[in-house]
Amino acid sequence: MDMKKLTLGLLILTMLFFLGCAGKTINLKSSMVGIPSPYKTKVALYFESYQYGVVPAGGILFDPNLFRERARRSKNYVQDVFSQVFSEVEIVSSLREVEKTQSSLIVLVKFSGTTKLLIRGEATVLVFDKNGKELFSGYNSSSTLNWNATKKDFQDAAINVFLPIAKDLSQNSQVASYIKSEQTSHYAKQFTESSGVRSSAIPSPPIKAQTPQSGTGSGFFVSKMGHVITNAHVVKGCNRVTVGDNANKQVPAEIINTDRSNDLALLKLSSLDMASVDSKSLIQKLSIAVVPLASKGLLRSEDVRLGEKVLVAGYPFGDFFSNTIKVTTGVVSSTRGVGDDSGQFQLDAAVQPGNSGGPIYDSSGNIVGVVISQLDKLKVAKAIGSLPENVNFGIKASTVRQFLTSSGLPSKKAGQTEEKSTQQLAEIAQNQALMVMCLQ
């Protein structure tokens, strides 16, 4: 008898514990202590996917209609979370509605959740500027105790999942810089008129008049005479072009030739006559480090193969995060580019703004391509209703070689076959890749 009373008592205590947890509502403002005041800007909140699954709990199945209604309303709790970061948050039902809101930023949410004795959820959040450039990405998963999937349960679940992401977002320097530099709240025509693939060169943020503007891309040496390959869009409209190891060590370069149809440009370091100390230093590096590789050839003779490993090198985001070269790895996803372009190929290695014009290496250190672009996730999602991931493009080495030959600079074919480690490939890239700056 005593044992039955004890068991009953434990059951009651357990129920009170669950009900107590379910009854608590997280205070958003107190949870955001230490976070700056909301940015005074308007954002559009779009749920690319938002799904909750009903799971039986101990033989009890929640009323599906009631459950769906509460799950639907939980979107408003997500809106409340992001309202702690931005002064005005408007939910839109489709990306086509974004333009009408005249929002400065688009917050795109992917969420999936289930409920049993726990409401579980995981979310991915992407933030884009009004031109479709990705500024932030965040992911979090969480679970919240519940007993009967009440309104408060869903509220707490949404807050637990999204609050850590919102905190990261509120302290993201790239988002802060964009909001600070923005001069107008109206959508650029480019948002609706672009083709769906965007350059991975960094566009210059709007800044005060009469201040020279600049953008950055990447490039790499292709001759001991100081010739450099990059993308044509990186140097388009530049009053002056410079190249160097980083943003602080730049030397002048001349545009020798461009091929807009293939998005290629050939640069050459300016004459050593009256050259600066930095110029002579860079030329010295070229003579010591690059010539031994160039003598064996730089560009591979065979085109990329489906599924082969590649390494991308360059200067994504310029010197925003650090003033050094960055490398990423991946595989060749397709041997054709956008629109079935045979002169390009698709890869899943990460490509960011600023990577444009950088070299793509095979596992032996041969250059198999030049970074050209990343797929514009927001515009493609707007067109097909789904968010693409890891879709980037390169120009094939054979196309680059033809361009060099037509520019009077025939290139010896590379034939290195010895497999190299990622560290060895990164060392090669450090000797060849450059940051290219366009000064206007």
Residue 378's pLDDT is what?
A: 63
Residue 13's pLDDT is what?
A: 44
CA distance 307 to 348: 10
Are 213 and 202 in contact by the 8 Å Cβ rule? The answer is: no
CA distance 133 to 353: 8
pTM: 0.54
Q: Quote the tokens at residue 176.
A: 């802060």
Specify the amino acid at residue 311. Answer: L
Residue 10's pLDDT is what?
A: 46
CA distance 376 to 357: 17
Reduced to 3 states (helix: H, G, I; strand: E, B; else coil), residue 285 is helix
With CA atoms as reference, report the closest residue to 89 among 146, 46, 35, 137.
46
Per DSSP, the residues of 151-193 read HHHHHHHHHHHHHHHHHHHHT-HHHHHHHHH----SPPTHHHH
Residue 329's pLDDT is what?
A: 94
Residue 421's pLDDT is what?
A: 94
pLDDT along the chain (440 residues), means of 10: 50 43 48 66 84 57 63 81 88 76 84 72 82 80 65 75 86 83 42 39 38 69 86 91 86 92 90 49 51 60 93 82 84 90 91 89 94 69 65 92 89 82 91 87
Q: Could you give all domains of the chain from N- to C-terminal order, each with its CATH number?
A: 16-181 (3.30.160), 197-440 (2.40.10.120)
Per DSSP, the residues of 18-66 read HHHHHH----HHHHTTTSPPPEEEEEEEEEEEEEEEE--BTTB---HHH
Reduced to 3 states (helix: H, G, I; strand: E, B; else coil), residue 259 is strand
Residue 81's pLDDT is what?
A: 87
